[in-house]
Chains A and B, each alone.
Chain A
Amino acid sequence: MPEFVMPDLAPVMPEIVMTILALVTLIADIIFKRKETLAILSIASVVLVFFVLFGTPFKTTFNGMFIADGYSLFFKLIFLLNVVLTVLISMRYLVIERVNFGEYYSLILFATLGMMLMASAGDLIVLYLGLELMALSTYILAGFITYDMKSNEAAMKYFLLGAFASAFLLYGISMIYGLTGTTDLNAISEYIILNGLTANPVVMLSMILFAVAFSFKIAAVPFHMWAPDAYEGAPTSVTAFMSVGPKAAGFAVLGRVFLIAFGSVRMDWSAVLIPIAILTMGVGNIVALSQTNIKRMLAYSSIAHAGYALLGIIAGTGEGLASVMNYLLIYAFMNIGAFAVIIMLRTEGFKGDTITDYEGLAKSHPLAAALMLVFMFSLTGIPPTAGFMGKLYIFMSAVYAGYTWLVVVAVIFSAISAYFYLRIVMYMYMREPKESVSLAATPALGIALAITAAAVIIIGVLPSAVVSFARAAVAGF
């Protein structure tokens, strides 16, 4: 038996700190009666992890199972940002929904820990562990309003289809393990190249199974069925959380597995991903046209955005990957911002989640309407907002990689999307208010809105800082 050596723990430090703080939050729930304390504690935890993250050396540890590099760093920043914004928008909301339980915060931290592990996974087993930790926590969060049938339905559907997707992933892992005898991403790639298995049916089958599992996670058509119901039924703050975090984590593993382990069969997996991307953009944008519930509409919009981001992966270049990361960061800001406005409309006895509730919002609450306008413009991709820049870089990278026709398709669908985003703007500015809508504005919500709106506009005007950061992050990939 070989001697066990202590692995280098420095690269895993952010995850270790995150684990400890999530456990502390769990225990703090028992000690503190005021749940706002937990919200502040979880934000403080994330800030601490943020500082630890920047002191982490870029190294591989645990025999290649765990990779700390620029790529994982960038994704972890998205996840941490996601936690901060979600916690800020959910403090008052949980009280209104009468589900102000402390477990909410520890579950969010555990889900984020799972995402961080996924972003750093250099081994399929670690990837699976992280994915399950993230998924199990989000299933519970989706059903957090225990007395609400819709929330229960959301959790149930998300759980059943998520478990199904996990089974696909495990099947894919077992296939590739049976063929290559390893679960290490680099070793799989080497084995495939050395043994000339680039046309092997088992490699193809396991690649397809991986594509299916990851498509579930990023809600790509035809594996998007759970998304509208789960997004509509789940508490709005959780919808914001899971439309950004798990999606970004899905893209993180998609990029790593497909560009490293299946790097040698790139033509084959892009042949699988191209129809998925086209369908995703098509179904997401076209079905969103007929939605009357704004959460459901944003669910379809979130599906469509996964389709745009897939273009960067299909491009398969470092530039494409950087543009995907850039896009996911921008998407985190604009999407959580939009959900923050939706949460603001939710008050005691008023749901505020149908599109007609936004009629005349500009007259009664001009600031909220203006913020919603910014987020809707950004989601559509109108300059000078960040959404435009995100799309621009993705489409450019796809054009440089020779997928001009695919970009033309994406632009057409993007134009269609303007209808349902701008319809909300039209309702807010061009209709008279039917009933008086009051807002549940709190300082925390204000901070979240200020951060997201400022980021959407600043990145839209000066995108180079984020883009060069993303490029630098991919450089060490």
Chain B
Amino acid sequence: MIATAFALGALVVGSIFRLKRPYAEKLMPYESGNPPVGEPRQRFSVKFYIIAMLFVVFDVEAVFLYPWAIVFDKIGLYAFIEMVIFIVILFVGYIYAWKKEAFVWD
């Protein structure tokens, strides 16, 4: 209750008292210091989505590998086999993506 009031209050009070001196550069959307070249909401080629999806798959694999590697000496052979199975399943997907030419840009 108090936290909500505080958060909203800070915004409201700030909007009343702060200085407002807008000029062209300041109103531009911030894009890492570069002047923007166009609308951000344009259509991207579906190729980018495919790359993004493939990235997620292998990213998740890496995320699972790290904690597994850290406790590897405690969890033994069973976990090793489990991880091998996991990687084999991902590898099948990798072969599939490769043969379907998901890695070819054109």
A→B interface (CB under 8 Å): 1, 4-6, 19, 23, 26-27, 29-30
Contact = CB atoms under 8 A, between A and B. Distances in A.
Contact of B100 (A5, A19, A30): A30
B18 interface: no
Interface string B60-89: 000000000001001110110000000001
Interface of A is mostly: helix
Interface of B: 71, 74-76, 78-79, 89, 92-93, 95-96, 99-100
21 contacts: A1-B71, A1-B74, A1-B75, A4-B75, A4-B76, A4-B78, A4-B79, A6-B78, A19-B89, A23-B89, A23-B92, A26-B92, A26-B93, A27-B92, A27-B95, A27-B96, A29-B96, A30-B95, A30-B96, A30-B99, A30-B100
B89 to A, nearest CB: 7
Nearest to B95: A27
A1 B99 CA distance: 43
Contacts of A30: 95-96, 99-100
Contacts of A29: 96
A23 to B, nearest CB: 5
A199 B79 CA distance: 42
Contacts of B71: 1
A6 B81 CA distance: 11
A27 B95 CA distance: 8
Contacts of A19: 89
Given A1-B75, A4-B75, A19-B89, 5 more contacts: A1-B71, A1-B74, A27-B92, A30-B99, A30-B100
Nearest to B98: A30
Contacts of B76: 4
Contacts of A6: 78
Contacts of A1: 71, 74-75
Contacts of B89: 19, 23
